[in-house]
Amino acid sequence: MYVAALIALAVALAWPVPRLLPRFTAGRDVPAATIALWQCVSLAGVLAGLLAAPLAVLLYARARSGQHDPSPWQHLPVLVAGLTISGILLVRLLIRGHKVGTELRRSRREHSTLVDLIGLEPSADERLVGHPVRVLDHPTPTAYCVPGGTRRVVLTQGTLDALDAEQLGAVLAHERAHLRHRHDLVLEFFTVLHTAVPARVRSTAGLDEVKLLIELLADKWAATTSGKRPLATAMLALAEGRHPDAALGAGSDAVTRIERLAYGSDRPWLRVGVIAAAVVVLQLPVLLAVAAIVN
């Protein structure tokens, strides 16, 4: 029963839950707590999958030996088989993590090198004094940051032409929030788990929702320092801009984010409820495993 429950939990957290959670749009008012919930859902799914095989071995050994604490040496082939299954799952996850991280870092290094090569120093614009940014000579308003070891905030000349000082300050605050709080690592974590599961059960909507939550988190930071109106009007001006996949862009999901700025509100009780749900979800596989071992 406990093994079946762990397997069912792993399947539920890897398949239907990431498809249902994006419908919880109220969580966008508390993006930090909702991202924590997403992280706990992902970690609990991985943990349930890793615990299922060793627990099945333990229960099988108990049934065969009639002992609550059977000797592992008497059931060595079954023990090896169970640990091998969990090992394969763990190795697959680690390989995906290494591959995704390596590809992202390589892409960011290459783009930073390209930006440094073709970008211009914003020495002629007083609004950018004291801000380490690179300006691309392109008419489309675009703003994004390239995180990692060689961090860059990148603007186009179209952005400088389209935004006033307050709007530009809001955009820079948004990008600095991404870099300061390392939102790229949060996105990398979800990308690893997203690509580690079989393609048939991946939830694109789930990954897109996490990306939106990360942008909303940066918006909250920027709004506190620059105000909601300059940020909203700047996002509207940047809505048609595009950015590299490895970067984080200020114009992404502009309509949804502007709606949150206009109608969203700080909801402390919702934040507490979401965090409590995250804690409960993360504990579920551990509690099932402990119950199986103790009983």
Distance CA 171, CA 53 (A): 49
Q: How far apart are CA 220 and CA 216, in angstroms?
A: 6
pLDDT at 33: 97
pLDDT in tens, 150-176: 788 999 999 999 999 999 999 999 999
- Give the separation between CA 115 and CA 101, rounded to whole angstroms: 21
The rounded distance, in Å, linking the Cα atoms of 4 and 49 is 11
**3-state DSSP call for residue 252?**
coil
Stronger pLDDT, 79 or 87, i.e. the higher one: 87
Predicted local confidence at residue 123, as pLDDT: 61
- Listed residue (48, 47, 49, 39) closest to 18, CA to CA: 39
Q: Helix and strand tally (H, E) in the chain?
A: 11, 4
Strand 143-146 and strand 152-156: pairing? antiparallel
pLDDT tens digits, one per residue of 217-227: 999 999 999 99
For 88-147, how does the pLDDT look when each residue is reduced to its tens digit (9 = 90+)? 999 989 999 999 999 999 999 999 999 989 988 776 677 887 677 889 999 999 999 999
Nearest by Cα to 41 from 56, 19, 25, 57: 19
Rounded to a whole number of angstroms, the CA Rg of the chain reads 23
pLDDT at 171: 95
Tokens of 100: 């995704």
Confidence (pLDDT) at 124: 65
Confidence of residue 202 (pLDDT cuts 50, 70, 90): confident
Strand partners, 17: none
User: pLDDT band at residue 76, thresholds of 50, 70 and 90?
Assistant: confident
Domain that includes residue 103, residue range:
2-294
* Angle (CA) 217 150 211, round 5°: 25
Asked whether the beta carbons of 207 and 189 are under 8 A apart, the reply is: no
pLDDT for the residue numbered 103: 93
DSSP lists the bridge partners of residue 134 as 154
Residues in the chain: 295
pLDDT (average), residues 5-9: 95
Cβ 28 vs Cβ 212: under 8 Å: yes
Enter the pTM of the model: 0.92
Domain count, the chain: 1
